[in-house]
Structure 1
Amino acid sequence: MSHPSAARKPSLYHNAPMVAILDAPGAGYVENAEVEQRVIGSHGELRTCIVPEHERDRLQELDADYVILWHRVSLDADFFEKNRTCRAVVCASVGYDHVAVEAAHARGIAVYHVPHYGTEEVADHTLALFLALARRLGDLSGHVRDGGWDWRTIGDARRLRGSVWGVIGLGRIGLAVAERAKAFGMRVVFHDPYNHPGIEKSLGIERHADLNTLLEVSDAVSLHVPLDAGTRHLLDGERMRRMKRGAALINTARGALVDIEALKGALTEERPAWAALDVVEGEPSLPDWLRGHPQVLLSPHAAFYSVESFAELRTRAAEAVVQLINGAPVTSAILVP
């Protein structure tokens, strides 16, 4: 791990709090900490830690007051038990399933995340993945690159207007996806037991209280829910068999929402017939069958990214730490309950 162990060196900022940024090798989220340094300034001493998998046990030596955490590094209960100086963790992500939140809370350590930074990008990417599937862009591009010029390569592509888009989870991103799907003339249905009754009336979309019913009527299904014990493998083999034959499944939320091994059999039955995945259970390690499957479109957990969203995410995470250091209300991140 690329930081000195255990004993804390004297701060350059007169005993200012220690702020550690945790990232994984090759992840590329924090190649340098210029953004965070500019925001945190003299409020804290900043340390960037690149943590290889085989050195995760050395996180107990972190000795930091605040942590900015990227999603390829996990903090388990042991971390919170042994890091007695830690006051808060700010996840530089929408999700926080890589943090043992209950263990943190048991030690009086607050956990924050940044769910509102990349709404437009994830929604745009979700639609882009679907459109690439619906219009067979991968096949068409490959055909032309190989010297062909036959429009029939597009196969049995169907008109989008009038088809049904099913949104699972109508939060910030789910709502943005619904609005975009409506713009294409699609009928939008959604399942979200936690959303306000009547929201469907103001949006001009349809609510399905039963998830299975949504799966049965939707031509495209997109996932926009957090990963927790209740949503892990939300789409398992049984649920995918409920999907409309020929439907498309798009996941830009969390990989483990979809049982990836069950998806293999579901694709054979064409329920769904197509899958577009920006996130995959076990990423970045993917099963060989998935990488080469002709009915699957993949992107490398990139839906969140634009130049603007990435700068916003890093800035908001650092701003939240400054607010915490100063005892000010935290407005740049959201407290995980």
Structure 2
Amino acid sequence: MPTVVYTDPAWAVNSAGELDAGRADVERAVYADAVDIRFGPHRKGGFDVSGPAFLESLSGADAVVIHRAEITPAVVAALTPHCRVVARQGVGTDNLNAELLAQHGILAFNVPDYCVDEVSSHTVAMLLALERHLVSQDSLVKAGRWSIHGGGVPRRTADRTVGIIGFGRIGRATSRKLQPFYQRVLAHDPYVHADLMRGYGVTAQSSLAGLLAESDAVVVHAPLDASTRNLLDHAALRALRPGALLVNTARGGLVQPEAVLRALRTGRLGGYAADVFSPEDPTAHPVNRQIIALPNTVVSAHRAFLSDTSEHSQRRRVAEEVHRVLVADRPPLFGRLA
């Protein structure tokens, strides 16, 4: 019987922080008796996604499903020659290393569209929370400091311009949700033609600097790769309008933490919201710790994708594609990268 290893599935951890194999109900409904399921090493508090125990857990796997774990040369060496397919349980592919897998004859795929609605809604929610100073008001009122003007006076969004960096599936959905709130919606994406943006009622900006200079708020939906790492650095943020807001629900590596912190302290940024950091937990990074301690920031724990429906869909679709490869001996239908 072929075996699939789930390296670090958040859904398999119960409320006590322990790995519970019984939670793989969605997967077992798909695999039935045709595929065996194993999990990566877990200690209370988290999965091991590197080191000898992690690599040993991959031995003999016919398929591997990763979440935050990264595909490295050491991982590929552990997978060879048995593994036929690696799945990324999510949208992003920066940790999948599809090119390296392809060099060893291993298929790779992600699930690129299961959470378009959730991430776009989360993005808009974070931006409006910054615009309306909701988090600071919440803290003040709960602390017994009732003040209408506490936390600052919001601006009228209907007079403002919002820019979107990255105009793929999620960027397009976000543009539709932002249009009722803002006067203008701009977008910058070197891989998307201005004609398509116009079809969504969005004005194209050919340069990142141009978008930043014209926007009162900016949301980030770009993929992370070598060309976009630290895309928003000191030089980029200097192009922002003073007091502009920035929301990142894409990847932590797209922004340079030192640049964000400086922009917040100087007032170049009027507020910052992020669902993603690098490393994942912002409290584990000295600069990100300072960012999230500021009163004009809003953060969440990389859960913009999450809803009861989206998580179920993601899990089912991954299992169906793995089953298709291992049992039907056919390539994945959706999200195939290599």
- Summarize the Cα distance change of 1:82–1:55 in structure 2 as closer, same or farther, 3 Å threshold: closer
Contact 2:198 2:204 survives alignment (8 Å): no
**Structure 1 unmatched runs, 5+:** 1-15
Q: Which amino acid aligns with 2:332?
A: V
Measured in 1, the distance between the counterparts of 2:159 and 2:218 equals 15
For the residue of structure 1 that corresponds to 2:230, the secondary structure is coil
150-159 vs 239-248, greater mean Cα deviation: 150-159
State the TM-score, normalized to the length of structure 2: 0.89
Shift of 1:66: 0.5
Residues 94 and 114 of structure 1 are in contact (CA less than 8 Å); yes or no, is this contact kept in structure 2? yes
* Residues in 2 aligned to 1:230 and 1:301: alpha-carbon distance in whole angstroms: 22
**Aligned counterpart in structure 2 of residue 77 of structure 1, from 68, 73, 78:** 73
Q: Does 1:268 align with 2:265?
A: yes
Distance 1:152 1:178 in 2: 30
Separation in structure 2 between the aligned mates of residue 154 and residue 143 of structure 1, nearest angstrom:
8
**Which residue of 1 is the match for residue 308 of structure 2?**
307
- What is the rounded CA distance, in whole Å, between the counterparts of 2:263 and 2:214 in structure 1? 17
SS in 1 for 2:109: strand
Aligned pair 1:107/2:104, yes or no? yes
SS at match of 1:161: helix
Distance 1:160 1:227 in 2: 29
Q: Which of these residues, 254, 257, 273, is aligned with residue 254 of structure 2?
A: 257
Q: Name which of 11, 29, 32 aligns with 1:38.
A: 29
Counterparts of 1:147-296 in structure 2, within 5 Å, are 147-284=144-281, 285-287=284-286, 288-296=289-297
Residue 325 of structure 2 aligns with which residue?
324
The 1:177/1:55 distance shift into structure 2, 3 A limit, reads closer
Q: Distance in 2 between matches of 1:167 and 1:223?
A: 6
Contact 1:242 1:271 in 2 (8 A): no
SS in structure 2 opposite 1:78? helix
CA separation of 1:27 and 1:299: change in aligned 2, threshold 3 A: farther
Deviation (angstroms), 1:24: 6.8
Partner amino acid, structure 2, of 1:159: R
With over 3 angstroms needed to count, the CA separation of the structure-2 counterparts of 1:299 and 1:65, relative to structure 1, is: same
With over 3 angstroms needed to count, the CA separation of the structure-2 counterparts of 1:329 and 1:86, relative to structure 1, is: closer
Contact 1:259 1:281 (C-alpha < 8 Å) held by counterparts: no
2:53 & 2:96 partners in 1: Cα distance? 16
Q: Which amino acid aligns with 1:327?
A: D
The aligned amino acid for 1:302 is R
Q: Which residue of 1 aligns with 2:2?
A: 17
Deviations 1:3-41 (A, max 9, x none): xxxxxxxxxxxxx21111110789949752111111111
Q: CA deviation at 1:49?
A: 1.8
Is the Cα–Cα contact under 8 Å of residues 231 and 257 in structure 1 kept in the other structure?
yes
Deviation track 1:47-70 (CA, whole Å, cap 9, x = no partner) reads: 122354485333433220001111
Are 1:166 and 1:189, in contact at CA under 8 Å, matched by a contact in 2? yes
Distance 1:27 1:149 in 2: 42
Q: Compared with structure 1, are the counterparts of its residues 178 and 25 closer, same or farther at alpha carbon in structure 2 (3 Å cutoff)?
A: closer
Is 1:49 the counterpart of 2:40? The answer is yes
Gaps of 5+ in 2: none
Write the mapping of 1:60-71 to structure 2, written as runs, cut at 5 A.
60-61=55-56, 62=58, 63-71=60-68
After superposition, the C-alpha distances for 1:60-111 in whole angstroms (9 at most, x for unaligned) are 332200011112x222112112322111101001112123333211101111
Distance 1:322 1:186 in 2: 47
The answer to whether the 8 A contact 1:161-1:186 is kept is yes
Displacement of 1:153: 1.4
Moved more, 26-35 or 168-177: 26-35
